[in-house]
Structure 1
């Protein structure tokens, strides 16, 4: 892409230099003065300052360039009206990006040159009538060719940007799938080895305790085994949420809001909108944990009467928002806890975003969104 951009710039520079030389050489020779030479050199230097020496060159034509170039051209035109067609040199950067502007400028310069000859001599010769279309045709050809190169360059840039975005999305999805698969493998390995082993140890110790009920060391060993069994199960649950294995994300959210209602009396419910699509396992797990953390915050702080969990399947996004009608707060002044940071990190790791909207007395809304790339995997 950079090579195409450099090529476009080279054609622009060549167009500017050739047109400036062709249109100013004759008037400079006839004038025989120093000031026009200085102004032409100044116009060339002014162009170089803005488009040759700047790194990177500007994407758009800067207004200061047009103003300075226009003043230099007006100075030349005031000295000798033969410098009229030099105006196209100032407009060369526009000609590169807008072929219509370039064609209008070329035709205007050719017509202006005929007007100048008629104004200077009182008549127009057939040779001049032939030369004017040649000026217009040569300028229009240069404008058209260079604009074509510019359009090809822009189209290639768009295609390359789309290809790069697709490759990055695919790589991110593959990374997420790999992370999810590894978490599932770890969960299975821990469950099949450590958890099952601790369960067997607990059973053996319970059998031994039945025959030796007053053995202190046996009681301590049994307590330690039970604690480690519970810890291993907790790790397995953290790696692979059981609700998702059983029912999927929408139903897991419904169960979450149902438990909130049953345990607190809050009017909590879940809304699912859009057409359900397969969602990569890791994305499901992270969204569920965000919802659980948001609901936990409502329990602790909000004093809400109503909570709504909304999962929206859009064309290019999956959005989860948890809204409550509680006390609310000022996000700009509140000191956020560790939970919000963890929720934001979960979304950012998947290429998504997390927003928090609230105001004193107006409740709060946690909005987690994931791009379409995260929806490519199957549950």
Structure 2
């Protein structure tokens, strides 16, 4: 199966050879009809032969040596075709090639002049030669045949121009489509690269949040229990605190594995959110010796695992902040189930602080809680003032358990 380039090259070779084929055909027919229509004298016959040879040489020079259509080559061939037709009318068969490359040889209105000249040569040959004519019918037929030849040639030329325009439009469309596809491929690669970068960044942020909310807090609890045990003179209290520190260390190890594997928090593996928060508040109360209460408002419902994990982590971080900074005597945790959202409130009566004051560069917890809530299109609010305690609230859409 030939390619498009090979097919085009074949057409070019055939079109270059066609004028020679028509010249040879017209020569054979003219020689066969010389007794009836051709020149009657030897001199005219020799002239005819010279004109045929000159025409062949002229076309070879301009078509194969020069290599492309040219106005000079076209004009010379047309004059030779006119001379041949005058000597023998049937050489109008060869003159037809003037319609073939007029548009390639000229520009603008000169194309139509070339078409008209070829049409006149064709009409002259079709009426039996140039005027004057013996019959009035020949004289009348010459302009009619000129109009017919020029009209048909014009019609075919305009149709060819239309096909060229359509072909060019399609080619331009293909080029634009190729550019669009290339641009789309470039954008696709860019999006993939951005997606990979975003995935890496999100995973780093997730691990940072998990480490801060679970492992770091558990290890801080281990250190606190061991320091308290070190300063205690009661052997039973020391054993209790060491046991608690050991339990916290195991919890930190479990959470480390779950964080790496992006699993559900251990507290929610076999419990609902309300139970997990109740257990969390109770353990925190024992560890820190601060009065802490947990209240559920509304009818508890099973929520999407991401929602439950987010609220649990926010509660853990809020309680950790109370233990570190608040010096509170009472803490209250409330979980409210609404029709469209679930709300977590953590309040304390501690020292409080000014939310507008600059925070230390190591202050990470508040930002983590806000990011966790906003990640699920929720909201996070903070209310505090020096000496008036602190209240944090996280509101997240109550997505049901199952696909979000």
* Coarse TM-score class (shorter-chain normalised): 0.3 to 0.5
Normalised by the length of structure 1, the TM-score is 0.37
TM-score (norm 2): 0.35
Q: Which structure would you say has the larger Rg?
A: 2
Higher-helix-fraction structure: 1
